Amino acid sequence: MRNTLARLVLLGGLAAGLAACNSYSPGQRAVGGGLLGAGAGAGLGSLSGNAGTGALIGGALGAVGGAATTPERPRDPYYYERAPQPGYGYGGY
């Protein structure tokens, strides 16, 4: 029981560390989600006796979930909020 709890705590720490990585590329999110899902699936599958099947299912679900939840890239305030006003610097003054 103690060994299982230690594995779950370690897996939770790794998951939290990987979840903090943010990417705006669906491909990178799919790879990251697939790796995280495969690790979680292998960990949970080992408890039931079949880590390989758990890793395959977890990896597939993680890749789909990672690609589907890709956030939209935020707008750069330099280009959108500080753009020159019409007439400024064009000889209008």
pLDDT in tens, 23-52: 778 888 888 888 888 888 888 888 888 888
d(CA 14, CA 40): 10
Comparison of pLDDT for 66 and 80, the residue scoring more: 66
- CA torsion 49-44-1-8 (nearest 10°) is 150
What does the block give as tokens for 68? 């589907």
Residue 87 has pLDDT above 70, yes or no: no
Query: Residues 64, 26: contact at Cβ < 8 Å?
Result: no
Percent of the chain with pLDDT over 90: 0
d(CA 79, CA 12): 39
